[in-house]
Amino acid sequence: MNSKLSIWLLGDPVGHSMSPAFQNAGLTALGLPLVYAARRTSPGELVELVDAIRQGQAVGANVTLPHKGAMGVLVDRISPSARRAGAINTLVKVAGEVEGHNTDVPGLLRALRERDLASGQRAVVLGAGGAARAAVVALDQAGFEFITIISRDVGRAEILRGELAPGCCAQLSVVEAARAAEPVAGAPWLGAEVMVHATSLGVGEVEGDPAFVEAEAVWRALPWHDLGKLRGVHDMCYGRSETPFLSAARAAGVKGGDGLSMLLYQGLESFLMWTGRKPPEAVMRRALEEAAGRPLA
């Protein structure tokens, strides 16, 4: 009989996720009676699963695309960091209630600092969903003065800007993706020093597959050669091989890293919340690299 309690990963898709590999390695290393399991989850299942955590059927969960923005009305309490980001990626059961937290922001900040991308005047965020919210907050905390949100859905991006602007020191602006593909003289975003990819385009795709090629073509259409001040990019997506976005950036001669390091760092923060124990980082890093078949980029 399995007496272990669960920690879930809730999202769709989740089949590509490497979180179970390194989270379970950490739990095993500390001898904790917990198991981390990915659950492909539809929007209609969220209420039931959050209530299951509340009732003690699981000690908590990670939340990934496309549910990060929907959790706010389902949890009992929201941490200041999650409220600021407008997105929840970690659920923790505390005294019969479910708390919502955001560990993406500190995870992304650590990843950016390691690549010397956590400073500058101008930054760009591609996307307007839950991951983009965390990216904007992280870049604001890093001290960027101007942050441009580029999205195919201008209405959604304007909502994001309106919600985050009051709490940001940075000046936020929105550009439609179709316009961003064409260089415009004097466009503020063309002076960006850092770019963060926070869309789901290309998530889980394998190099050479039609979906990978299609996503890569979208990102190659960006006016890379007009981004003369760009020091590097960070892709919040990750995979077992290079992502479509990073492939496009590399083809344009721009350095960057993927979300594998951010995945580890946000996971370490979540691990501490669920267990109250210091996560065994070296063990969890090694397990993640083994699952990915490569070192953290």
Quick one: three-class SS letters along the chain?
CCCCEEEEEEECCCCCCCHHHHHHHHHHHCCCCEEEEEEECCHHHHHHHHHHHHCCCEEEEEECCCCCCCHHHCCCEECHHHHHHCCCCEEEEECCEEEEECCHHHHHHHHHHHCCCCCCCEEEEECCCHHHHHHHHHHHHHCCCEEEEEECCHHHHHHHHHHHHHHCCCEEEEEEHHHHCCCCCCCHHHHCCEEEECCCCCCCCCCCCHHHHHHHHHHHCCCHHHCCCCCEEEECCCCCCCCHHHHHHHHCCCCEECCHHHHHHHHHHHHHHHHCCCCCHHHHHHHHHHHHCCCCC
Residues 6+ apart with CB under 8 A from 162: none
Residue 255 bears catalytic tag: no
- Pairing status of strand 5-11 against strand 34-40: parallel
Is the separation of the CB atoms in 181 and 221 below 8 Å?
yes
Q: Read off the tokens for 108.
A: 């992304």
Q: Which of 68, 93, 229, 255 is catalytic?
A: 68
What DSSP designation does 229 have?
A: T
Among all residues, which ones are annotated catalytic? 68
